[in-house]
Amino acid sequence: MSQLANIKHIICIASGKGGVGKSTTAVNLALGLQKLGKKVGLLDADIYGPSQPLMLGVGSGVRPKIKDQKYMETIVAHGLESNSMGYLVDEKAPMIWRAPMIISAFNQILTDTLWSDLDYLIVDMPPGTGDIQLSLAQSVNVTGAVIVTTPQDVALLDAYKGMEMFLKVDVPILGVVENMSTHVCSQCGHVEAIFGEGGGQRLSSDYGVDVIGSLPLDLTIREHSDQGNPIVVSEPDSAIAASYMELAENLIAKVEAQNQQASVTPKISITED
């Protein structure tokens, strides 16, 4: 039996292309939600290039325990329940699989993982608009998607495709995250928009959704992620961590507003003319 019934909200963190910081955003968002008192799980859905084991600081060789010869127990790191293809195969092993095998593997780690009662399951999606995105949207009740992009035009082109895909499969877009929006020089404090400006705003304006996060380009984010100690937990009082906390707060507000809208039922009054 699938454990997804224990999960209140499934949130897809997606991007149209790789290299925009989607996985880093996903793990720090999950940790931010946890700091706000939510029970959170993190599913690494990137079968070809799983990165969450590294970012969570889970050592190579750590494997989920198997229960009843089928179900996988979660790996807990920094208080987050997690599962990933990276826990199941050698970190250097290439996944030379065709689409049916990829879909089967994804469905297994999604539905055969023993998630506990979670407020949020954050799903770190693979880049693009392929089989896994469609399989998730068509097989489970997804609360919504968050689209991560950088301000540059080439990233926006692919982000548009990601937006269109989720809309076509009736998954609500909860918001846009503009990653690497500005860089602050560590030597002089000069602020520079290395990848351009306003890209996330253009994307949100075109689709009528909000920019729910604006995250900086900063060396310490990468360093802490590579060390398995994401910045939300390693430097919780920093301005960068505050940006991720603001994203987490905005996501909760969007989900709550969506829930309230869904719970409103029309009142029918009958009058005699």
Residue 270 within a domain: no
Which range, 11-20, 181-190, 237-246, is most confident? 237-246
Which range, 10-24, 145-159, 172-186, is most confident? 10-24
Domain count, the chain: 1
Q: Which of 61, 55, 62, 60 is nearest to 78 (CA)?
A: 55
Give me the CATH number covering residue 149.
3.40.50.300
Q: What is the DSSP letter of 120?
A: E
Model confidence at 35, pLDDT cuts 50, 70, 90, reads very high
- Which H or E run contains 200? helix 199-207
Alpha-carbon gap, residue 20 to 268, rounded angstroms: 48
Residue 272 within a domain: no
Residue 188 within a domain: yes
Residue 178 within a domain: yes
Residue 273 within a domain: no
More confident residue, 7 or 151: 7
Alpha-carbon gap, residue 125 to 52, rounded angstroms: 11
Residue 271 within a domain: no
Which residue range(s) make up the domain with 112? 3-263
Q: Which two tokens stand for residue 109?
A: 């780690």
Residue-level pLDDT at 188: 64
Q: Which of 70, 24, 31, 71 is nearest to 46 (CA)?
A: 24
Alpha-carbon gap, residue 76 to 176, rounded angstroms: 28
Residue 268 within a domain: no
Residue 269 within a domain: no
DSSP-based three-state secondary structure for 109: helix
Model confidence at 1, pLDDT cuts 50, 70, 90, reads very low
